[in-house]
Each structure stands twice: as C-alpha cells, then as structure tokens.
Structure 1
C-alpha cells in the first residue's frame, strides 16, 4: 500500500475528519505514533501528520510541528531536515559518548576508543553543549558507511562555566565570549546578573536549555572585575580553564590551625641534619623553598650530599580537608605575575618552606659520592634540617664564576659533581632539548615593560642534576624492591614491586621519527631510527648539536620535540625516554605537585610502616587526574604568557621585527620574534601574491602558482599589524607585502 493510501486509510478510520478546535499534545503524540506505526521506516513531513489528523488551522499546524520537534529532542523521532521526521534513529543503531564543539565544529566522540569521532551537522546537535554525555542515533548506507547521525538524548550535562562579558538590556542580558566551545550566547535574567555591568569580566554557569529555546539560560556566579585590569584578566584565564583563583575559607582556617612546633617525640623518629651545612638555591622571587642541599666532605675523597625535600605529608593528612583541596588542584599554577598555590599559604610559604635559620621537617635522599660523582651509597630517610643560607640563582652563579663568596668551597664542589652527573646522563641517552623561556618585567599595574629570555646556567644545572638523581634513586628503590641487596628495608610477602607513582616518558612515535629522519636527510643530516633507545637518543643529541647556530636549528629542534611523546604519571614502570632513565618519579616538589606528595606517603607506607602494597586502581586514577591537571595548568600558563605578549606589543603596533616561522597551517604562518619571543600569525588571506596550501610532507606552505615556499625555521621580517587582547592574538604582516602595497612616490 502506498504512503498516501496508508495516510488516507488512517484518516478514514479516524472520525471526524475535521480536527477538534483544541488539539491536545497527548492526542497529537498518539496519532503521530499510529501514523509512524503504519509507515515503518518512512520519512514523513509534518504536513503529512497534519493531513492524517484532519483539517487544521495555522495555529494547530504550529502546535503539531512543535510537538514533533519535542518528540525529536527526546529521541522518539529524528528530524532529518526542517519539517521532515523519521521514527527514532530511522531503524539505525545508537551510541553513547561525548559532544565535542571545539573550534566550532560539532562532532560526537564515542566512548568506544576504537571508533573515530563522527561529524555532526548543526541541526543534529539538539541542545547539547561541549562536553555533555549524549546518545546519538546512526543511519548507515548499504555499504555500512555512516550516512547521518543525530543527538537523540542528553544523558549528562558537563556543568561547564564560561568567562566573558555581558551585553545588557533592560530586564535581561546576554553573555558573550570568545570561547569557541559555546554554541550560543547565554540568556541571563536581570536578577541573575550579580549587578555586573557591560564593562566587567564575569563567570557564568548554564542553568538549563529548554528544548524550544534558542539560547540556554544562565546566571552570573562571579564578577572578576573590570575588563582589561590585570587581576581581572589573570583570574579570567584561571576561570576559563576551570582552575580556582581563591582558596576556600574553611581550608585556610584548617591550615592556620596547624602547629609548626618541632617536637621531641618527632625528632626521635628522624635523622638530625641541623648541624650539617645546608642551603637552598631558588629564583629571586621564590617564596616556597621545597628543596635544599646539604654538603660535607668525607675521608678518602668522598662527599656526602643530602637532597632534602619539605615533608608536606607530616602536615597534610590523607583524606583531610586540606588534602582534598590539594588533590582537586593537583598542582600549583604559575601565571606571569602570580602563583596559584596547590597548598594554602601557611603551608607553602611558612610551615613547609625550607626557610633559612628555621628548623624544618624533611624527606631526604642522602648520597655518598666519589670524586667522579659516582653514587657509592644512597639512603632515604625522614629528617630535620636547618638551612644555613638562602641563595638566589644569580648569587650561586656568581660564586661559580668568581670562585668566591659564602660557602664557596661547598658550592664549587657541588657544581663540579653536578656537571659530571650531567655529562654522564647525556652519554647514557638523555636528550638535550633546550628551548628558551621568557620572563616579563611588570610595572605596579601589572603591565609588561621588559621581556627577558631565561637561559639555563650552571647554577640551574646544579640543582637540576641533584633533583634528577634523587627522583631516579627513589623510583629505583621501589621498582627494584625484589632485590633485597638494594632495598633491604622492604619486607614484602611478594617479590613483585609494590604499587608506586612513576613519571614516565614513552619512546617517540616510530612513524613521526621516520618522517623526521627522512626530512633531515634531505638537508644533509642523519638520524637513526633503529638500534635501541640509547642509540636513537645519542643520534638525536648529535643532530641537535650539529644544527646549533645554523639557520635550520629552530625548525629541526621543533620537529624533534613534536615527535616526542608527552610525559605523564602512571603506576606502570616504563621508564623515562627523554632522560634515559629506566626508573623515574617525582619526589622533589610536594609543595607544588600532588604526585610528589603521593610518593612521600607511599615511601612511608613501604619503608617505614612496612604495609602491604597500595590499591593500584585508586592510585592509577589519582595519576590520571594529576596528569590531566598538569596539562590544564600548562595551558593556563601559556595563555597568561600570550596575554602579556599581546599587551607588551600594543605600544609597538606598526613596528618591524625579524622572526622565525614556528608553525604553519592552511590559515597562516606563525612567527616568533627573535627579540622578545612573542608569537603572532600572518594570515594566509593577507598573502596576496599567490594562493598558498600547506604541504604536510615538507612542513611548508607552498604557493600554487609561483611555487614560493615558507618552511618551519625560515627567517621573516614582519610588521605588527593587530594586537587583540580579548582573543590574546597578535597579527603580523609580511613587511615586503606592506611595502609592495604602499603607493610609490612620484618624482618631482
């Protein structure tokens, strides 16, 4: 029977033919279901439903269409295009996953990681928001390919907050933001605005999104301050990434109640290092000194070096209110002008900070080294220390350079030992990546007035090498627990190592490495891709050494970094490829990293209390959370640097600089300025001499007609064209293009 005959039959069976004056929603739904039951798998328009119901007015037709749309929102129907519906998923399958709207491109990310993300049309997104857990229905063609997909149900909201500003009107406001993850402006009733003005930066939370509303409805939950003010903008960056910008009062009160007393009972359980020369070496503006070095000479040309780390676990008990907040944050966040600490200030800057001339509890790794910096023995102990001197990096470097100053003999010996440790580390496969970092000098209002390029000097390397040695030794002590000669204090029933937190870095992707090798071979360099991790690392180090100071240095070093995996925390004992260590953890910064605090607690559990292995599932979940928060914090830190770079360049609009290409894409060329490391974009739309396309194989942007090629690492002369603080974006223009565009001066 044809579709029209079926509809007619249904209409004939249903009397009277004229629709009642008032159509009930339930009646419309009942008739709609009957019509779709009579036409299984068929696509029907809302007009056909109206025909089946009977003679309808325009108002009734609108009510029918609205009811059909509601049935589509809850997943009972699917609206393939405006006004055309099919039952459920059209006989297709359904999947659960998350809605992704990054970059304004809607897609569905299945929970099954073996499946690729599925693109969605704007009309198939229902009222989903980025990050929502959703269910979709799929339609496939005869070959099994996805023909269409539509969100049929929102299972769980992501509860995301957004940062932006208000466009105020009488009685209401709309929230607008540069965040491309938000699909629509948010409607804010006047009583939900917290008295914010259009000039304020605000944090907004979505309350609901009605199925028939064009915009979600929300409320202002915090007013950060006037847009453009330094504190408001820094807090906006933190809020944008979901990071806290103030401490809960109850956590602050709990920290203030902690006692800093050094008790006789606790001293009896610890090794006393208060009579040993101990010092800290930190940045000039540091307040949280979480590591210190002790030094004393031993007979027969040996030295004892103690790496002493603030014993945060003594004060922060697992499961307490302070610990819960520290775990939630997982890391301190370092913005350009401020630190957002993982722990309250009383802990991070006072109780746990290894300040000079104060007795402090520490967790220590004590080494006996020979003159060649070979560790002859190492032990892990809980100690009490007293720092004799606080050095800045500049002060320590001056002692290294001149050979004179406070405790010069100790500093110079530590420097010599550190350099030997460093040389041996690179011989064994550590990779020598050395990317410059920037530091801003700010005025009282927080505006950048100078940019300084930070470089790694021997004073920095002194601290770095002993911290690496301690981290590696602690990881080895647990990973080799089955060897009683190495870890006699571990009395485990099983021979397998207990659950532990490792900092791992996996080997680079083989395909990326081969691609890099092929690319550098065309430039006359060699890179091994086979022969074991140590051989590959040494080959990579040789490559990085060979390109030093050459025009292609930036390009090749960037490609090498991009071929590497990202370091993370896990309970799996895999090793650290970049450092060339078989075992590695983070032990040396519990004030600012939660995994270090976890490591201290596990050391106490195994080495002091002699308890069974910790639960691996719970520990792995904590590791995943710490890795995620580390990435989020790093993104926030980069955003603050980007904001200050744009702010720094505003007075320099129209000025010309030289720079190097750091990135290429279909939409433009990213250039980093040599003078101050500020990065901006030369949009492709401004390259008027040709149409340019990105070539992935050669990492270059190529003109379709002229063949002109822009490559990673190329030097360019650019002019600062725009500086957009709201988007934290710099736009550059090729100076040559501007000169070609300017009208030529006429001869007199």
Structure 2
C-alpha cells in the first residue's frame, strides 16, 4: 500500500512517516535506517507500508519517492575541505553537509551562513547550494539571531520605495484631514503604555453621560489614513503581517517615521483616530456604541508604573502632578474590574500565565530575566481593548460586512480526550471540555502544588487562535464576536479592519470595487497574517532561547529551583522560575534504567522506582549554556547518582501531559501577550 505524507528525520539515522490526514503521533510509522529514499526532514514523500521483519505486528514505512522538497534554504557553519567550501547544517535532522558552489571569497571557516539549495545530491554527487547570506561567527548569539530572522523571512530593513513613502508622510495633521471627523480634542484622553514604549497606537477616555451611564472611549491611531491600500507601505505591511519583538529589540511592521511619528498618539499634538465609543451601565452591560473617524489630542502620556502607583495611593508627588486625571483613572480601574468580572461570569478562562522578559544592558547583553508583573493599569487597558475588539467585531458581523476576525475554536475531540486522560490520575475529573468545566478544574487546582502543571495541561489542550473571515467566536474569551482592532501599527489584521470601517463610515463601501473583491482581500489578509504571526512567534521563541542561554552562561555551576516542564525518553526539560528552560538528560539522573510512560508522562527507575513526572519540583545545576544554539543543560546537584534534593513545596504524586516532547511552539492558545509591557489578545 502506497501513501503520501511527511517524512520526519531524526539525528540517529532513522525517521518517521506521517500520512496525510493523520491525527496525533499514534499514526506515525517508523522509517528504518537507509529507507528514507533520499528524503530530508520535512519533505513531502510517498511511501509503501510493510510489516516490520523483527515484529510482524508492527508496520514500518519505506520512502519510495520525494514529491516536494521543503529545505530550499539550509543554514549552518562553514567548513573548508581542501579547496572546497562546505556548510554543516545547524539542524542535526538534516543528513548531509552541503557543498557551496559559486562565489565564496566573502566567507571563512566558522562563519554561519545560509545557502540556497541547487541540488539535494545523488549516489554520485553531494548536495550543493549557493551562498545567500552570511550572519557572522557561528556559535555567537548575534549570528544566531540574524540567522533565525532570515530563516523565518523577517527582514530588519525596509526596501527603498517603502522608506521613501514613509518619509513623505506629514509630520503634523493637515487641516484637510480634519474634514468630516468628530472633534474630541476638548476631552480628556490619555495613553497608558510601558515606560520604554515609543509608539502609542491606543488612547482611552471615560466620562458619565446625562443618565449617569459610563461612556468609554477607545481611540486607535488611524493608520489606514496614511497607509493607503495598494501603496508600497501597505504591500510591505501585508508582507510582514506583524511586528516582531524580542529582548530589547523590535522589527516593526511599519517604518519608524510612521509608527513613532504621525501614527503615534503622542501627547499634546493633534492626531487622527478611529474611535469606538461605548455606553455602559454600572454593571458593564453595553447600552449602545458609536464608531467614528475622530481627531484627538492626548492629554497625558502615562506609564503603567506611574498609574499603578497612583491607583495604589503610593505617591503623593504623582497624585499632585496628575490631580486633573486621577479621578478618571480611579473610575477606569473600577469599570475595568466590572468588565473583568463580567467576562469571568460568562465563561472566559482565567489562565495563570507568567510572562518573563529579558533585561539587556547598553550593549545589548542580557543581564537579567524577570517576571513581568501585571498591575491594575495593565489589566485596565486589557479590559478596555477587549471591550473595543468585541464591539467592533459585533458591529461588522451585524452589518454583514467583510471582515478579518480573531477566532479561537473549542478544543477538538482528540484534545479533550487527551486532557481528560491526563487529569484523571491527578484526581481532577473533566466531564466536557467547555468553558465552565475547564474553569472548574483550574479553580480546583489553584493554590495546590499541581496548579502550574494543571494550567499548562489546559493551555496546551486548547486550539490555536488564528485569523479568519468567518466569525467563529473566541473560546478562550467566551466571546461570540471578536476581532483585532486596537493595534494597526503592529498587526495587519487591525489595519484591514480599520480600512473596512473607514469605507463604511465614509459611505464608499462598494465604490470602485465589488463586495467580492473586498472579501477576497480580507481572506488574503487572514491567511497571510496567520502565517506571519506563527513565523514571528517561532522566531521570538528561538531568539529568546539564545538570549537566555547567553545569560545562563554566566551562571554555569550554580543551582536553581525549577519544575519539570517536559518528559521524554531521553530526559526531562526543567523550567526555572525566571522562565529559563533546559534539558536534564536521562544520563544525568541517578544511575538506573528508566521506563518512559507516554500516557502518564513519567520516567520511572526500574530498580529505585524513583519517578519523575510533569510539574515535579526539582533543584538543578546549570552544567552548560550555548548562546549559539540556545541550548541549556542541567544536571542534578550533588554526587553523581544521588537522588534529587527536594524543593520545599510537596511534589504531586503523579503528573501527566500528552505529548512527550520539548514544547516546540507557543501554546495553541494563551493569555494575551503583553507587547511593550501590555496584554493584548
């Protein structure tokens, strides 16, 4: 029987074949050594299925043809073999060194480069490729960062036409742009961002109407006014899809001349905005809303740090300085709490998530890794942005307009079944994988030693949030309508939503283009933005591993408390309190033969019966850290073969998770990431 699917290589010479349409790892078939048919990791192949000669009850796959090559670019270290230049792939899942043909005078042994594959080799010829880019010395964090960006198609520099278009943007709002806009410059409007933020794409206001109801204004920079459809700026923003953030750097979606200039809601200057003005009663129920093209003038540029001090009455100096807005801030905090309770009551999941961030010195070197604390002002902005996103999505849906929605579907049947199986040994029963049942499990685990493991299990059981032109709702938020409206400076879907709203407000929807063409544009934006978001998240994760490894290289030989974050046949992944994760190989565990239980996610010693499980507290010693690869290796402190030292918190008897591998992607759904110190879903 011949099937098509994906070949997954290992570093050991064998591999696995995943048939098309397969769900879960249980469908993978073993590919014995020398049966890969010349396939490389990730290639689409055809294979025949045969019984294993050593085990008639087991089937194996033999690759018969490579249908589609996936490794068009290979990144690795330069080696010189006589007069020839070769590149040894960084990934140990790629099988061969690649001969570099063409011009090589600009590179030297030990450089990290990328080559474009021209041939994948044969029985007589080696794989060959041409030099595409050089990143610096292999093994350094800086070279790895540039290589990762290149691998995911993330470009630091903007093309010349895009830079030229950005420079033509005005430095101030032109009088003609005010025509037809609602003038809100007389009101009190503020921005609240991190202290280091330079672009401010959202501002908020709050007042009472004549009936005593709340009037909440969420005012978003009108980026679409300056980034017109089909322009070089628009095409580049579509190509990038999103800004990319890591450590102390950002690769922006739009040039800084725009994002930090005319599109930033800087204080005490006129700025164009799209405003979502919502009227709510004292219980946070929506009584009405208005979407409008506006002009605003931010009263104050506030920071989270200052706002938190003000709201906690910890700074008389700040209270005097901001006396004119302090009452509004306190009202905002109260309304935000009401909205948060309302979301919880309808079933929004309250997943505890600790976000860590890397602190760099003036030279860009990582000097600390800290847990970002979410204070009252961060939650305030989070609540208001969520309210605006929901309001705009509902408006678009009920107007039957094309749109780009942010969707998050309920867990699949397979994911729900796996989660139930993991929770049962821990004493947590899950009847259905719905919002209420999942939250009951989270609430029951809160405050227990199992809580971090339970939260991680639930988080990884959820589907991946994505963009779609169909309004499928947002499971994690328990929201019937949801889109991204609040960050057009850094996300293309928000820009697309603004463009559609502007056409609606101007009365030009359908002029010069059909509804079908607009729907097609929205569909392209949804697909492209989902793909680029995934690339950005993957790059951010891999880059931050390099920074963390560089930070930990100064702490080799030191011990740290942590917890098991992954269980595999070859060892344990252990996460420290600051978010650093490293491998504790099975060879570093007390001398024994360990049996791996894939269902319960445990390693158990055959002789000692010592069991290591997901979420188990451990104290580990940092044995090695490689900034170039991002790899961190742990051992157990003490004499070789000694049992681990216990952490004060009691370890649960059994912890489980579904897939036994190092987490290789951000969770399918997670609480909103705080870009520049802020949560945004």
Normalising TM by the smaller chain, what interval?
Answer: 0.7 to 0.9
Task: Specify which of 367, 375, 395 is matched with residue 278 of structure 2.
Answer: 367
1:380 equivalent in structure 2: 291
2:305 equivalent in structure 1: 394
Deviations 1:186-211 (A, max 9, x none): 1124x522512234332322233454
1:4 equivalent in structure 2: none
The unaligned stretches of length 5 or more in structure 2 are 645-681
Task: Specify which of 263, 278, 302 is matched with residue 352 of structure 1.
Answer: 263
2:491 equivalent in structure 1: 593
1:419 aligns with 2:419: no
CA distance in 1 between counterparts of 2:379 and 2:345 reads 16
CA distance in 1 between counterparts of 2:501 and 2:579 reads 42
The question of whether the paired residues in 1 share the 8 Å contact of 2:48 and 2:61 is answered with yes
1:694 aligns with 2:612: no
Aligned residue runs from structure 1 range 366-515, under 5 A: 366-402=277-313, 404=319, 405-406=321-322, 407-481=325-399, 497-515=400-418
**Larger Rg computed on CA atoms:** 1
User: Which deviates the most, 278-287 or 96-105?
Assistant: 96-105
2:660 equivalent in structure 1: none
- How far the C-alpha of 1:341 sits from its partner, in A, is 0.7
TM-score, normalization: structure 1?
A: 0.77
Distance 1:715 1:210, change over 3 A: closer
Task: Specify which of 518, 525, 534 is matched with residue 631 of structure 1.
Answer: 534
Distance 1:114 1:549, change over 3 A: closer
- How far the C-alpha of 1:129 sits from its partner, in A, is 4.5
The alignment of Structure 1 onto Structure 2 pairs a total of residues equal to 625
- How far the C-alpha of 1:694 sits from its partner, in A, is 2.4
1:182 equivalent in structure 2: 94
1:336 equivalent in structure 2: 247
User: Which deviates the most, 235-244 or 303-312?
Assistant: 235-244
TM-score, normalization: structure 2?
A: 0.84
Distance 1:275 1:633, change over 3 A: same
The question of whether the paired residues in 2 share the 8 Å contact of 1:194 and 1:221 is answered with no
CA distance in 2 between counterparts of 1:233 and 1:521 reads 42
1:610 aligns with 2:509: yes
- How far the C-alpha of 1:638 sits from its partner, in A, is 1.2
- How far the C-alpha of 1:353 sits from its partner, in A, is 1.4
1:32 equivalent in structure 2: none
1:22 equivalent in structure 2: none
User: Which deviates the most, 125-134 or 288-297?
Assistant: 125-134
Task: Specify which of 611, 618, 622 is matched with residue 709 of structure 1.
Answer: 611
CA distance in 1 between counterparts of 2:241 and 2:260 reads 17
CA distance in 2 between counterparts of 1:315 and 1:696 reads 54
CA distance in 2 between counterparts of 1:598 and 1:542 reads 37
User: Which deviates the most, 210-219 or 715-724?
Assistant: 210-219
1:566 equivalent in structure 2: 464
The question of whether the paired residues in 2 share the 8 Å contact of 1:203 and 1:223 is answered with yes
CA distance in 1 between counterparts of 2:7 and 2:245 reads 31
Q: Aligned Cα RMSD in Å?
A: 3.0
- How far the C-alpha of 1:648 sits from its partner, in A, is 1.2
The question of whether the paired residues in 1 share the 8 Å contact of 2:453 and 2:614 is answered with yes
1:30 equivalent in structure 2: none
2:206 equivalent in structure 1: 295
- How far the C-alpha of 1:235 sits from its partner, in A, is 1.5
1:658 equivalent in structure 2: 561
Task: Specify which of 162, 177, 192 is matched with residue 281 of structure 1.
Answer: 192
1:546 equivalent in structure 2: 444
Structure of greater relative contact order (alpha carbons < 8 Å, 6+ residues apart): 2
Distance 1:133 1:663, change over 3 A: closer
Task: Specify which of 639, 642, 646 is matched with residue 545 of structure 2.
Answer: 642
Distance 1:542 1:137, change over 3 A: closer
Distance 1:300 1:621, change over 3 A: closer
Task: Please identify which structure carries the higher helix content.
Answer: 1
The question of whether the paired residues in 2 share the 8 Å contact of 1:258 and 1:315 is answered with yes
The question of whether the paired residues in 2 share the 8 Å contact of 1:270 and 1:383 is answered with yes
The question of whether the paired residues in 1 share the 8 Å contact of 2:29 and 2:60 is answered with no
User: Which deviates the most, 286-295 or 212-221?
Assistant: 212-221
Report the 3-state secondary structure (helix = DSSP H, G, I; strand = E; otherwise coil) of the residue aligned with 2:348: coil
Distance 1:130 1:706, change over 3 A: closer
Report the 3-state secondary structure (helix = DSSP H, G, I; strand = E; otherwise coil) of the residue aligned with 1:587: coil
